[in-house]
Amino acid sequence: MPDSPAGPPAPPIALAGLLAREELGLRRIAGPDHADLLWVHTSEMADPYPYLLGGELLLTAGVQLTDADTYVGRLVEAGAAALGFGVAPVYDTVPAALVEACDRHGLPLLEVPRETRFAAIAQAVWRLMAEARHRELRRVTRAQQALATAAARPDPVPAVLRQLAVQLDGRVALLTADGEVLHTAGGRTAPDVRTALARLARVVAPTAPHTAASARKPSPSSATDTRDGTHLFAYALGGGQGLALALATPRRDSGDHTVTGIAVVLLSLLTAPHQGADAAGRSAALVRLMLGAAPGDVAPLLDDGDSWTVVHARRADGTPAGPLNAGALGAALGSALSDVERETVRVLLPGVREAVAPQPGWTLGVSEPVPAGALPDADAQASRALGHAEATRRPLTRHRAGREGLAALVPAGLAEAHARTLLAPLTAPLAETLRCWLSLHGSWDRTAVALKVHRNTVRQRVARCAALLDMDLDDMDVRTELWFALRGRTS
């Protein structure tokens, strides 16, 4: 069968819904009475197989129909959902051989009367899909509100599970990687179903420690199975906690995946362990900061370590980040200290830890580990690294230390003094634009992406830098000297 696209434009509609549109006059004359329609396609080719995606209602007048059995067999092989045959202008009635072939291959066959245009059928299908999408969005919105309300209750985890069981009309459970049931909600399930759910939990939340090999082949975030018509699902919770959400539902309705995804995010936040400090410690740190204490003085309230790493992140698909997915990202990185400002999420990682790993769906910029007093510098490093990651289309970029290689041969004081003198004519925005432009090898477009400005703005700023410095920025020696100066400047 041909490769399927990423997904249909709307939830599938039932064949019965289309047949119920009396104005079309459609009549099923062969094949089963049920099918899910994802698309509408019209073709008069003798073999439309190469052009089908699967799930189509294929409309034809039989212009090149010769061998009905071969034709229908190819449609079934391509995954077509149903066949609509127009009785005009080529045929006065649906050929008997086509009726027999559709019955034999199990493909629904619809008779399209001569007064019904194929375009009208397509329009009706799209209208039904739009109505189905509207119903799905309303259902998801109501479920989101109900789950959010449950998460605000004094017993949030059991409340979210109970509400999810209601929304999906099934059985839900929070399991450990060992299959231990922490909380359950919903109807009863058979022992073999519970065993299967425990197995799925081990798939998405393995107990084995992460190794270099396992990092190259991460565990899936979800897994599915079936038992006697019951649909089984397991989803890993964020934060590397070894927890999984397991579900057993009698059916799989449109929107279930979205509703479950909302519950997974909520449960990931609710079950995430506090890393390095409890809520009281964080509150105390916040109070002291607001009353004028230095970051270095309050850092011990948050963690016993002496180093911190700052991570800046934005959604890879460009969608804005909110408190929920910001908290989920923080939990995935192993920290309860996260914040979101506009579309950028910032996470503080306390203490010495393993290297930050890329996170699916996010673009990350990571600072160097710094003492608490240098957090503003680390924040700037992470911001620059994120801009570089977006410009180079990498999932993660780490800030590199400025005093490396040949630069380390020059005393830091002399390097900084030279940088201040050389770059004195430039304002901070001009110097940052020049630094970013040089780091991206003079690419106007990638610099514009990193700085989130128009490429013409980049050109104007770089030209202004060249004029103020009275330097030829096309000269590699000049670029090298400026790059060393920009890396040696501390402010």
pLDDT at 322: 67
Q: Which residues of 255-278 are buried (b: 16+ CB within 10 A; e: fewer)?
A: bbeebbebbbbbbbbbbbeebbbe
* Residue 148 belongs to a domain: no
* Residue 107 belongs to a domain: yes
**Three-state secondary-structure class, residue 371:** coil
Q: Kindly tell me if the per-residue pLDDT of 328 is higher than 60.
A: yes
Q: Give the N- to C-terminal CA distance of the chain in Å, as an integer.
A: 60
pLDDT at 405: 54
Out of 194-203, 287-296, 446-455, which region has the weakest mean confidence (pLDDT)? 287-296
pLDDT, tens digit, 9 for 90 and up, residues 244-301: 888 988 887 778 888 888 888 888 877 765 444 456 666 777 777 777 777 777 777 7
CATH of the domain at 423: 1.10.10.2840
Residues 65 and 46: their CA atoms lie apart, in Å, by 6
Q: Is 462 exposed, middle or buried (0-12, 13-18, 19+ CB in 10 A)?
A: buried
Rounded mean pLDDT of 60-89? 92
Average pLDDT, the chain: 82
pLDDT interval class at 2 (50, 70, 90): very low
* Residue 186 belongs to a domain: yes
What's phi and psi for 349, nearest 5 deg? -110, 105
DSSP 247-265: EEES---TTHHHHHHHHHH
Higher pLDDT, 325 or 457: 457
Q: Kindly tell me if the per-residue pLDDT of 243 is higher than 80.
A: yes
Q: Kindly tell me if the per-residue pLDDT of 115 is higher than 70.
A: yes
pLDDT at 325: 62
Q: Kindly tell me if the per-residue pLDDT of 110 is higher than 80.
A: yes
Residues 241 and 294 in one domain: no
Residue type, 266: L
Residues 288 and 384 in one domain: yes
Rounded mean pLDDT of 13-22? 91
Residues 253 and 323 in one domain: no
pLDDT at 324: 52
Q: For residue 122, what are its two tokens?
A: 């397509």
Higher pLDDT, 336 or 437: 437
Out of 8-17, 261-270, 324-333, 412-421, which region has the weakest mean confidence (pLDDT)? 324-333
CATH of the domain at 218: 3.30.450.30
Residues 376 and 471 in one domain: no
Residues 420 and 351 in one domain: no
Residues 382 and 403: their CA atoms lie apart, in Å, by 17
* Residue 352 belongs to a domain: yes
* Residue 379 belongs to a domain: yes
Rounded mean pLDDT of 230-246? 81
* Residue 132 belongs to a domain: no
pLDDT at 86: 93
Which domain range does residue 481 map to?
405-488
pLDDT at 408: 55
CATH of the domain at 56: 3.40.1390.20
Q: Kindly tell me if the per-residue pLDDT of 213 is higher than 60.
A: no
Residues 65 and 80 in one domain: yes
pLDDT interval class at 403 (50, 70, 90): very low
Q: What percent of the chain has pLDDT over 70?
A: 85
Phi-psi region of 132 (alpha: psi -120 to 50; beta: other; left: phi over 0): alpha
Residues 222 and 201: their CA atoms lie apart, in Å, by 9
Q: For residue 473, what are its two tokens?
A: 């920025």
Out of 52-66, 68-82, 200-214, 251-265, which region has the weakest mean confidence (pLDDT)? 200-214
Residues 389 and 430 in one domain: no
Residues 447 and 339 in one domain: no
Q: For residue 254, what are its two tokens?
A: 């449109």
Rounded mean pLDDT of 135-146? 88
Residues 97 and 202: their CA atoms lie apart, in Å, by 52
pLDDT at 435: 85
pLDDT, tens digit, 9 for 90 and up, residues 418-444: 778 888 888 888 888 888 888 888 888
Residues 119 and 169 in one domain: no
Rounded mean pLDDT of 312-319? 84
> Given 92, 127, 162, which residue is the final one in a domain?
127
Q: For residue 466, what are its two tokens?
A: 């060249």
62-65: long-range contacts at Cβ-Cβ below 8 A with a sequence spacing of 24 or more? Answer: 62/86, 62/90, 62/91, 62/95, 62/98, 63/90, 65/95, 65/98
Residues 264 and 163 in one domain: yes
Residue type, 295: P
> Given 211, 244, 271, which residue is the final one in a domain?
271
What's phi and psi for 444, nearest 5 deg? -65, -45
Overall domain count for the chain: 4
pLDDT interval class at 197 (50, 70, 90): confident
CB atoms within 10 A of CB 467: 10
Does residue 455 contact residue 444 with C-beta atoms inside 8 Å?
yes
Residues 34 and 93 in one domain: yes
What's phi and psi for 236, nearest 5 deg? -75, 135
* Residue 143 belongs to a domain: no
Sign of the Cα pseudo-torsion (140, 143, 147, 148, in order)? positive
> Given 271, 295, 325, which residue is the final one in a domain?
271
Residues 197 and 245: their CA atoms lie apart, in Å, by 9
Residues 173 and 234 in one domain: yes
Q: Kindly tell me if the per-residue pLDDT of 96 is higher than 80.
A: yes
| Helices marked H in 79-179 | 96-105, 118-151, 156-168
Residues 72 and 46: their CA atoms lie apart, in Å, by 11
* Residue 7 belongs to a domain: no
pLDDT at 489: 64
pLDDT at 451: 84
Residues 408 and 368: their CA atoms lie apart, in Å, by 17
